[in-house]
Amino acid sequence: MTGITVIGNHDFVLGFKLAGIHNSFIEENVESRLTTLLAEKEVDILVVHDEDYKKFSSGLKKRIFESVKPIVIAVGSLEEDDLRARIKKVIGVDLYKK
């Protein structure tokens, strides 16, 4: 499994499937599936809903923040600065710098 993988409830995953992303898991227990996928070397990017991310344990959040591959992106209303910092960490360049 390579590329982008999406984990979440049916409605969240459906939008990504319609956009052409087929690596997805419809899960009620997102934390459990995410923990499994973090150990797989073939996964590049994991996308989760920010509402699910907020429910993760502090240990998993720390593991996610420190992970370079796969990178975990929480999509929704989380602060843009967090995404900015993660992108800078992964590629070494501040894409938002003016």
Residue range 31-54, pLDDT digits in tens: 888 888 888 878 888 889 888 888
Q: Which CATH architecture has domain 4-91?
A: 3-Layer(aba) Sandwich (3.40)
Higher pLDDT, 89 or 1: 89
The residue ranges of every structural domain in the chain are: 4-91
- Contact, 11 vs 51, CB < 8 A? no
Q: Which of 2-6, 10-14, 76-80 has the lowest mean pLDDT?
A: 76-80
Q: How far apart are CA 24 and CA 8, in angstroms?
A: 8
pTM confidence score? 0.74
Q: How far apart are CA 85 and CA 87, in angstroms?
A: 6
Residue 50 neighbours by CB under 8 Å, 6+ apart: 74, 75, 76, 77, 78
